[in-house]
Amino acid sequence: MVLKDAAELVHFRELHLLPRTIFSVGAVCFIGSFFLKLFLLGLFGVGIVFAALGLNFLIGVIQGTHISISDRAFNVPWMMGAQFIISSWLAYHLLAVAHYYYFHGTMPPYLQPIPVHIDAPH
């Protein structure tokens, strides 16, 4: 293996430095939840991963936006903006569910299974 090929082995190289760091923290929490058997830690880790992805998409939108005053042109990468909105929405809701679960000890009522009462014949 040549030294110039080593750059191809870098994981998550499309992420910027801060989102890559946040993504790594979320991934450690998510993977650690399997070993600790804590559902809450896994939910928190996935929420952090989506927050890092949202931050990366936001940085991409800011870097990809071109404003030209002379041509009166305003070009925005709309698809990346949509991905930013979706990942931010998912991160917010996952972290909100993790917050609720942490303080109440159960999942929110809209995520709990419907109780089934089976009456045995007498």
Count of domains in the chain? 1
List alpha helices for 65-119, DSSP H: 78-104
DSSP string covering 38-74: -HHHHHHHHHHHHHHHHHHHHHHHHHH-EEETTTTEE
Beta bridge partners of 66: 75
Q: Which pLDDT belongs to residue 114?
A: 79
pLDDT tens sequence across 34-74: 888 888 888 999 999 999 999 989 999 999 888 878 887 78
This prediction's pTM: 0.75
pLDDT of residue 17: 78
The boundaries of the domain holding residue 56 are: 16-106
The chain-wide mean pLDDT, for the chain, equals 83
Residue 7 lies in a domain: no
In a domain, 22, yes or no: yes
Assess if residue 117 is contained within a domain: no
For residue 2, what pLDDT is reported?
60
Q: How many CA atoms lie within 13 A of 13 on its CB side?
A: 6
Q: Is residue 34 part of a domain?
A: yes
**Does any domain span residue 31?**
yes
